[in-house]
Every structure is written in C-alpha cells, then in structure tokens.
Amino acid sequence: MRGLLRGSEPAGRSGLVRDHLRACHEPMPARSTSPNPPLRQQAVVSDSPLGAIAELALSRRDDATVVVLLASERRAEMLGAILHAFDPGCGAMVLPRTDVLPYDGIVPSRDIAGRRASVLRRLAQGSRAIVVATSDAVLQRIPPREAWTDAVFPLKVGQPLDLTALREFLERAGYDLDARVDDPGEANLQGQMIDVFPAGAIGPVRIEHEDGRILGLSAYDPLTQRSTGDLAEFVLDVASEGCVGTDEQAAASVFDYVPKALIIADAKADARASTFLQSVRDAYQTRRTLPAGLARDMRPPMPPDQFYLDRAAWQAASKRPDTLVLADVPPAAEQRVPLFAAERSQQRLLREFVAGTAKAGRTLVLTAADAHDRRASESRLRRAGASPVTQVSSWADVLAAPKGAVLSLRADLEAGFVSPVADVTVIAAADLLGSRARHDAPFGIRAAAIQPEVERLQAGDTVLHLARGLGVLTGLETVEAADAAATDMVRLRYADDTDVLLPVQELAAVWRHGGDPESLTLDNADGTTWSRRSARLWSEIGETAQKMVALAAEREARTAPALRPAVAEYERFASGFSFLPTADQSAATEAVLDDLASGRPMDRLVCGDVGFGKTEVALRAAAATVLAGKQVAVVAPTTVLAAQHAETFRRRFAALGIAVGHLSRVARPAEAREVKTKLADGSLRLVVGTHAIAGKGVRFADLGLVVIDEEHRFGVREKGRLRALAEGVHMLTLSATPIPRTLRMATLGLQELSTIATPPARRLPVRSIVRDFDDATVAAALRYERRRGGQSLAVCPRIEDIPSMAERLAGIVPDLAVLTIHGRMAAADIDDALVRFAGGEGDILLATNIIESGLDLPRANTILIWRPDRFGLTQLHQLRGRVGRGARRAFAYFLSDPDQSKTAATEKRLAAIRDASGLGAGFALSARDLDLRGAGALFGEDQAGHIEIAGSELYADLLDRALRQARGETLPDEIIPELHVEIGGRIPPDLVPDADTRLALYARLAKARHEDDLDQIEAEIEDRFGEAPGELLDLLTLARVRLRCRALGLTRIDAGPQAIALTLRPDCRLDAQHASRCGLRRSGERLIADVPTDAGNRLETLMALLDEIAG
C-alpha cells in the first residue's frame, strides 16, 4: 500500500502509511462515560491539525471558560471557525490584537476595535465561552468588568425604540453618522429605516420603526444594501473598548474577566508575548528619548505598564498550574490522515483505511466546507465501503454516535486527524478531493468585493452628456411650480460657468466621467464643441469594435492540443501547495484546466489582488501541461521577478523530477545555450524567464502553454513577440491590477476572465497608515518588525532621494542594517542584494519602486513609502502588496513630507489608498485609477485615448454597443421619450434624505433598460427606506411608460383631461387597422385616443392603452 502524508518525503512513503494505518487502527481504551475523559496531553501539540485542537478545547469547556492562546493570528481565526462548526453553541470568540503598534498614536481600525469590544463585553457579562487569541492580543490592559454595564443597546422586534436614547448611545459609543452605511462603525438615523453597522459584527443591521416601536430587524448586504435575512433581536456594541470607562480605569486584563478559565497555550505563545513586550519597551524608550522637535506628540509618554501587562503579570496570568502547554514537536504519525487524492491507487488506499477504521470500532467522520464537497466526499466514502453515511450537525452528535458509525459534518478543516481524546478518525474533504476541495472565507475577515460597485453619481462629479458634452454635475435642485407639484431637476455646469437645468429622466444620457474638473476643459453648454469631438470618437470606436470582432472570430476558429494530465500525478503536484486554496483560486484553476482540455487555444486572464495566489494557478496550469507531454514558457517583466519565479517553479517541480530552465539577461552564456538547446530538442519541458524567451535563437520542440505575468508591464514590441510565441498554443495571463485595456478586453469577451477575490486562508489585511513622516513612529515601526523576526522595506520615489533617506534611517535606527537597491545599479548587484535580503540578511531594504512587481519577500511585514504623492495609485497598492504575505499582520506607512503642502489630487489618492485597504482592494483601486490617471485605448499605449475622452463607464457602454452592432445584433432605441401628462413624480427627501443617494437612484431609474430593472429598484427602495409614497409610485410608473414608448417607437406623449396624443418616430410603422381597433385616429404624425382622464387615473389609463397597442 502506498500513501502520502503532508510533510512527508516522497521516498519511503509506503512504509510510513503502513505504520500510520497500524498505529491509527490499534483499538483505544473504551470511551469514557465521564464528561471530561483523561487527556492524552502529549498527543495534541502546537502543530497538530486545528481540528484536534478544537476537539481538545471543546472537551474541557464543561469545566469553565477556555482560553486558547496561539502564536499565529491566522491559525486563531481558522480555529474560531472550526470551533463554531463543531459546536455553534459553544460561544467560540476570536479576540484579535489591535492593528496598531505601541506608542504610534494611531487609532485601531474600526473592524478590529469593534470585534475586540464585542468579545470583551460578552466576557464581562460572564458568558461561558471558548476564547481564541494570540498572546499579544491579551496583553493590553482593558476597562474593568463593571464598566461594560451600559456599553450595549439591545434591540428586539416589537419592543419600544427611543430614538433619542439610540442617537445618544451611538454618539457615546463612537459611531459615525453617514448617509450610506457600508463600513463598521457607521450609522444612519434618517427616515423610517435606521441602518447601523455594529463595529464588531460581520455585517450591518436595518431597523424598521414606526411610532416609537421596532417593526422589524434585518441583516443586509453592505455592497448591494439589500436585506439578506430577518432577525428577532440584536445587540449593538460600542465601536471600541476605548469608549468604555476612562483611561484611568483601564487597569484590568482579559484574565481578570475569566479568573477560573482553563488556558491551553501554544508552545510558541510565550515567545510571541516576550517579543511584543520588548517592542513595547523599545517604542517607549524611542518616544521618551527622541530629541525635542522630532516627535509629533510633545507630551512625555506614559510608562508601558499603564497600557500593557508586564512580563511578571503575563507569567502569573498565563502559566497557572493547570495551564496546558502544547508541546513544540511535530504531530505524531498516528494523528495524521493520508492525502488520498495524491495517490494513483487512492480508492484502494481509502478502502483499506475505512476497513481498518471499522475493524478498530472507531467512529469515522467526514468533514467538508460546503454541500458540494460534502456530497462528493460522501460518495467516495460509500464507494470505499463506508455505508451508510449519516449527516450530523455538531461534534456532540459525533461523540453520541454508536461505535463504528460513519458520519458527515459540515466543517472546513485543512486536514483530517485521528482524535487523541476519543476513538474518532476524521477525514477532511481536502484529503479526498485534494486541490479541488473548497474552503470557507477566513473567520472574522471580510474580503473586498472584486467587482467594485458601479460608481454612483455625486454632486461635484465630472460627467459627460451625450448631446452636450463634458460638464460638472453640481447637484439636484427642487423646482416649485404654482400650479404643479414640486419636481427635482439636475443642474450641470459647462464652460464659462454656464448652467443647465435638466429633468431627471435625462440622466439616461449622463455618464460619470470621473476626471479632475480642474484639469479638464469643459464643453459648451449647447454641445457645439462636443459634437466635433464625438463624431470622430464614435467612428473610431466602431472601427475598434470591428477589429475586436474579427480577432474573436479568428481565435474561435483556431484549434490547439487538448491537454489532460494524469490525475494522480497532478494531485501529487498540487499537494505541494502549503496553504488551503481559496474558493476563487480553485475556480480559476478548474477553468484553466477546462480550457486546456477544450481543444481550442486558451486565452485567459487571471486577475487577483496582490498575494492572492495567482502564481499557484500558473503553477498548476504548467503542471497539467507538462504532465500532458507539452512544453511551458513562463515570462515575467523583470529579471528579478523571473529569477524568483524560476526558483519557485524549481522547488515545486522537483518532486516530479522535472527540470526548470531560466532565460534572462543575468543567465550565464553557457547556461543560456544549454537551455536553448534542450528546448529545441524537447528534453527541457519548462522554462522561466523574461521576454528573452521570445528572442532570437529560442525554439521550442512542442510548446503547449505560455504564461505571461503582469503583461501590462511589457512594452509594445515585447507584447507582440510574446503573442507571436503563443500563436496556436494556450496562453494564460496574470495581473494584479489590470490596466483598463486588459480588463475591458476580458469583460467584453475577447479573453476569458477568472477573478480571485477571496484572500488566502492565512492572509490578513495590511494595516495602512497615512501620516506625515515622524521619526519616533518610523523608529518604533522598524524596531517592532525586527523584534518579531521580520524585515522592513523603505521606498523612495526617486533615486536622488535614496542617500538622504539612508542618512535619516541611520540617524533614527543606527542599530538596524540597511541594504540598498535602485535602477542605476548593475543587474547582478540588484539580484545579489535581493537574494541576500530574501535570505534574511539585513533589517531594511531601501529601494525605489523597482520592488513594485510581484517579488515574494515572506519575511517583510512593514513598508515605509516616502512621498506617496509622487506615486500613482496602482503603484502604491502594488508596493503595499510587497508585505503581509505570511500569517502576520503587516503595516504600510504612507509618509508625506510635513513641510510640503498636499494638492487636492494627492489628498484624493491618499484617501483612496487608505479607504481601500481591505483584502481584494486592488480591483477597486484599479477602477479608481481610471479617474485619477486615465487609461489607454484598446489598441495602443496612448494614455490620452478614448477612455480619457469619454470616461471609463461610457466608453465601456459604447464599445459594448459597437461590438453588438458589429456582430449584426439589433440595438434597442436609446431615445428618451418626452412625457407631458401633467403628473410629476419624485423621490421625496423625507423618505431618502441624502441628496447624493436620491441622485444615484434617479440615474438608475433613467438608465433602466427593462421592467425587471425597475421592479428591482422599487423593491430596493422599499427595503432600504420604507413604503413608497404616491409621488414615488408615480415616478416609477412614468419610468415604465418610457420603456413602453421605446419599445413601440413613440417619441412623445401628451395627455390631458380629454385625450391622449402619441407621437411616432418617423420610421415607425403602426398597422392602421390595429390602431383603429385600439381606438386611435391619426392626426399628422400623431395618433389620438379620445379618452377622458383625470389626475387620479391618467397614468393607469395610459399604461392600459400602451399595453393594448403592444398586444
């Protein structure tokens, strides 16, 4: 029998699995009837599968609250999720550490501060729980338990609601009032619906109230603002523990809240605490001894013991006699489960494993993250002889099951385990499905949506009116008429400060441009200047569409080898991935494998934020291709990145015995000649390099796949060569922040698109701090990083800035070693410095943005970016992505020159980088970058192309229409019918108080193309703001009338007390007999219906008439 255990060497695998099976299936002593059977303490160790640690914690919860102290924030989050899956009622809580450094004067992020406050409040109330934390998370001093008495605001359906008391609580609790509530710590108390995003919750809550009573509570999606489910009750927590009590009261600790708790501590937790406490002392000393004038806060710092436990207090609290310290040794072989997916005879191995488990009388439990994997894994177990498989909902059900039962439990485990506490063996879906197993998003971590919300129109935006041209939308304006109801109008400002008032339905012709009004030339209000520019633009977009359609047809007609690797070898390769693949990663990989097997040349773009696992998708695509007998070329834009990729590919392919060649300017001539020879004769199947791969003298015997990393960083000529190299074979492109050209081509169908939006299971968001350069803050940050065993990056915008920054760093942190690289150094010297730094040499790498592209520096967790105003937004995000690729919290400091004033554009850029700091924010920033720096046309590199003229949203819409026209499709009429029916309609301000929100809703109503769109908008308004009043219902009906007019070819309707007149488009041909049957008579270009109406029934009558004509 052969089997593979994670972490084991390929050699000797069979014997290891035989030993494992023998050890696993020796019968354990009979299950104890005691609620707390004796622990085999030596069995659970620091690196045991998290399922085993979760089981251990649950087994001790009956005695008291359990505190689990781990050395990794990521493992803490994952353990919290597993505990909740094993027992939803166990009170599992993850207490995060604050994402700020000691004495840096920065407020913790709302998300982290709120989660801490929620956990501390529940502990203060005496809730029995399992608290999971890293050691540094429990070192901070906190308010005493009694201070939390008034720190909550309970809400329950049917109960009274005191709006004044709620407002006072939210102000006291640290919430910000905002018209759109989509971030933690925000609230909106206007209107019939109250929105609150509790800082410690995973999502916001909507409160429907009337006459001082709560009518309903619901959770809603912060992105769509739509309700997702009803709640019976909810508790609002304060936004931060700092809102509770006073600074003088903050003398307690987490251990004071749970004095009788059982502590389970990772062996490395104490070292983490020591490192943190030393960094506290370092930061205190730095701040205390800084020369006058260099620190922003001139007050002397308070001593550390005012804010944190000292070493003695930590030891006394954490090392009680009954504390269980998990040993720092590898898990025993008998605790681990084989990785069946990586075996050629996986079903036979699984059958023997299941039989051995049954023979030993052990309960066999299958875990999976979702229903799909649960079904697939259960099917495999049944085929292996495990029948029947019973689904259970908790670990308590597992323990209550009869001996030898086969069970299935919904839980996301990274690997199975053999229980050290009970006679239970657990197989995870990842053990059976390998790389195809799905995994949940990390516990307590919200990832940014990969597709940013369509930009809402707001007052102050530059906009483009299809008939008038470029102007500035100054806002909504209410127009009062003596003989009619008030209506809302849109005011636009054009050249020479000429203002135009437009009815809100004309927003159908208004598109957000997004450029800076100060740097753009506005058009004349009459459209004369725009008409000259737009005629050429429409023509060029049409030509572009024709080229794109021709390219797409050409590509569709091509064929390519269908590549299908052997499953076992492929899974063996995939098992070398050290992390859990995310759902998006798995989906992208599946799409790539399907493309490779399709028989047509793949042209797929994989977009993922920095560090989200695009390289792993490329590795698996390369493995599938090589294992199918074809050659692979992987191309990177720089020699440094190419060298790093080459090392990564060599390390991963070594287990398969596949050599990896390297071609770039730094490759030795003899090595390059050998690589070229072996590529030509087919003895080398995989090469990694720069565009030199597409250079002269390079020939492939049987090329199957070209992978291009960061294609937009190549020049036009290099791109052409790479595309020529990929002619007739499969091509995979990777991009973290795709330039609009690439993204638009992908979304419009020329490339297939895969997006990786979910962060890796270990990844934490980088904390972004925007501030002026402050020596004390910089010194504390750099020393903190060194103290925890990490490294830091310092980036300057220009080579000329390097010497002065080096001198400044030497002055404030003389004890830290600095390595330097920049573009004027020889390539070999740059590579040498990077290799040394990546290997752990040096504390700080001082560089220009030469380090921007995908370098993997796993020890780097802090980056300082000097003069961020001199970088583009996308550059700033790429630089931020150089840190935080491991399991530790990373920090990015965007440090401005305090002696330089900031322009409005700089303030926008810094606000964007600060606000878009969540996981997956790169896609939102890429879209935002269109506004701040423009984008190129689809064919060519000119940054002053079509998108700069039209704006990204209108350009995409125009190109989409042009493409459909080029394909021969009939396009819907875009005319805006005029309605003169003596009835208005508006969104009343007392229902939707925020003017920008009303403006955005008006724009969506005007741009709606289908009645379903209007139905969704109506449902959303009622969901978000309450029951629609009559004037809003009239507005919606008028929008429906316009849609019917477009469909019928009507350009205008006049309706009064005696008749309704319909004006036809000149090319509209309405059958005369049908018109007569509908009661219509012709009068010139108009059709008249002699139907008397009044204001009460006019719209209803009009809708009925249009329906009759359409029928």
DSSP per position, 557-584: H---------HHHHHHHHTT--SPPPHH
Of 283, 76, 303, nearest to 786 by C-alpha is 283
Rounded Cα distance, 560 and 32, in Å: 62
Of 257 and 249, which is predicted with more confidence? Answer: 257
Q: What local confidence, expressed as pLDDT, does residue 524 receive?
A: 94
Torsion sign, CA atoms 1098, 1100, 1101, 1103: positive
**Average pLDDT of the segment spanning 612-621:** 91
For residue 552, the one-letter residue type is A
Give whichever of 298-307, 313-322, 1009-1018 has the largest mean pLDDT. Answer: 1009-1018
Comparing 285-299, 389-403, 594-608, 1088-1102, the range with the smallest average pLDDT is 285-299
Strands (E) in 628-751, as ranges, are 631-635, 661-663, 686-689, 703-709, 730-735
Tell me which H or E stretch contains 744. Answer: helix 740-747
Long-range Cβ contacts of 899-902 (<8 Å, 24+ apart): 900/869, 902/869
434's torsion region: left (phi>0), alpha (psi -120 to 50) or beta? left
pLDDT in tens, 796-835: 999 999 999 999 999 999 999 999 999 888 877 887 888 7
For residue 622, give Cα distances in angstroms to 586, 626, 641, 815. 15, 6, 17, 44
Rounded Cα distance, 169 and 181, in Å: 17
Instruction: Report the 10 Å Cβ neighbour count for 668.
Output: 9
Q: What local confidence, expressed as pLDDT, does residue 927 receive?
A: 55
Residue 572 pLDDT > 60: yes
Q: What are phi and psi of 213, to 5 degrees?
A: -140, 145
Of 930, 929, 926, 976, nearest to 953 by C-alpha is 930
pLDDT in tens, 1054-1085: 999 999 999 988 878 777 788 888 889 988 88
Q: In the numeric block, which tokens belong to residue 445?
A: 């971590």
Q: In the numeric block, which tokens belong to residue 970?
A: 């009939």
pLDDT in tens, 851-874: 876 567 878 999 999 999 888 777
Q: What local confidence, expressed as pLDDT, does residue 290 receive?
A: 64
Contacts of 34 (CB under 8 A, 6+ apart): none
Q: In the numeric block, which tokens belong to residue 332?
A: 């025993």
In a 13 Å sphere around the CA of 199, the CA atoms on its Cβ side amount to 29
Rounded Cα distance, 764 and 186, in Å: 22
Of 770, 887, 788, 765, nearest to 280 by C-alpha is 788
Rounded Cα distance, 357 and 385, in Å: 11
Rounded Cα distance, 44 and 759, in Å: 28
Residue 590 pLDDT > 90: yes
Angle, CA of 672, 678 and 679, to the nearest 5°: 90
Q: Are 272 and 76 in contact (CB under 8 A)?
A: no
In a 3-state reduction of DSSP, which class is residue 462?
strand
Q: In the numeric block, which tokens belong to residue 250?
A: 């903050």
Of 913 and 532, which is predicted with more confidence? Answer: 532
Taken in order of first residue, the domains within the chain and their CATH numbers are 13-27+332-436 (3.40.50.11140), 50-145+246-278+305-326 (3.40.50.11180), 152-237 (3.30.2060.10), 462-541+946-966 (2.40.10.170), 556-756 (3.40.50.300), 767-918 (3.40.50.300), 978-1110 (3.90.1150.50)
| Beta pairing partners, 182 | none
For residue 973, the one-letter residue type is D
Q: What are phi and psi of 996, to 5 degrees?
A: -65, -35
Rounded Cα distance, 172 and 153, in Å: 11
Residue 919 pLDDT > 70: no
Q: What local confidence, expressed as pLDDT, does residue 40 receive?
A: 35
pLDDT in tens, 348-378: 899 999 999 999 899 999 999 888 889 988 9
Torsion angle of the four alpha carbons 83, 84, 87, 92, in this order, in degrees rounded to the nearest 10: 70
**Average pLDDT of the segment spanning 720-732:** 85
**Average pLDDT of the segment spanning 397-414:** 92
Q: Are 868 and 910 in contact (CB under 8 A)?
A: yes
Q: Are 214 and 158 in contact (CB under 8 A)?
A: yes
Instruction: List the alpha helices (DSSP H) in 579-695.
Output: 583-596, 614-627, 639-653, 669-681
Q: In the numeric block, which tokens belong to residue 329?
A: 């040794």
The average confidence (pLDDT) of the chain is 83
DSSP per position, 395-442: HHHHHHSPTT-EEEEE---SS-EE-SSSSEEEEEHHHHHGGG---PPP
Rounded Cα distance, 50 and 45, in Å: 10
Q: What are phi and psi of 895, to 5 degrees?
A: -105, 110
Contacts of 488 (CB under 8 A, 6+ apart): 476, 477, 478, 479, 504, 986, 987, 998, 1002
Comparing 9-18, 273-282, 965-974, the range with the smallest average pLDDT is 9-18
For residue 406, give Cα distances in angstroms to 29, 364, 859. 19, 5, 43
pLDDT class of 486 with cuts at 50, 70, 90: confident
Q: What local confidence, expressed as pLDDT, does residue 36 receive?
A: 36
Q: Percent of the chain having pLDDT more than 70?
A: 87
Of 479, 480, 379, nearest to 433 by C-alpha is 379
Q: Are 882 and 793 in contact (CB under 8 A)?
A: yes
Q: What local confidence, expressed as pLDDT, does residue 855 receive?
A: 67
Of 470, 452, 514, 459, nearest to 998 by C-alpha is 459
Q: What local confidence, expressed as pLDDT, does residue 925 receive?
A: 58
Contacts of 857 (CB under 8 A, 6+ apart): 791, 793, 837, 838, 845, 882, 883, 885
Residue 481 pLDDT > 80: no
Burial readout 8-40 (b: 16 or more C-beta within 10 A, e: otherwise)? beeeebeebbeebbeebbeebeeeeeeeeeeee
User: What's 248's DSSP letter?
Assistant: G
Q: What local confidence, expressed as pLDDT, does residue 21 receive?
A: 41
3-state SS, one letter per residue, for 978-1035:
EEECCCCCCCCCCCCCCHHHHHHHHHHHHHCCCHHHHHHHHHHHHHHHCCCCHHHHHH
**Average pLDDT of the segment spanning 169-179:** 91
Q: What local confidence, expressed as pLDDT, does residue 559 receive?
A: 87
First vs last C-alpha separation in the chain: 72
Q: What local confidence, expressed as pLDDT, does residue 887 receive?
A: 62
Instruction: Report the 10 Å Cβ neighbour count for 486.
Output: 13
Q: What local confidence, expressed as pLDDT, does residue 13 receive?
A: 35
Rounded Cα distance, 462 and 475, in Å: 11
Instruction: Report the 10 Å Cβ neighbour count for 1095.
Output: 12
Number of residues that this document lists for the chain:
1111
Of 526, 941, 918, nearest to 717 by C-alpha is 941
For residue 460, give Cα distances in angstroms to 133, 173, 1003, 1017, 1048. 46, 32, 15, 24, 36
Residue 264 pLDDT > 90: yes
Angle between helices 50-60 and 73-86 (to 10 degrees): 60
Residue 528 pLDDT > 90: yes
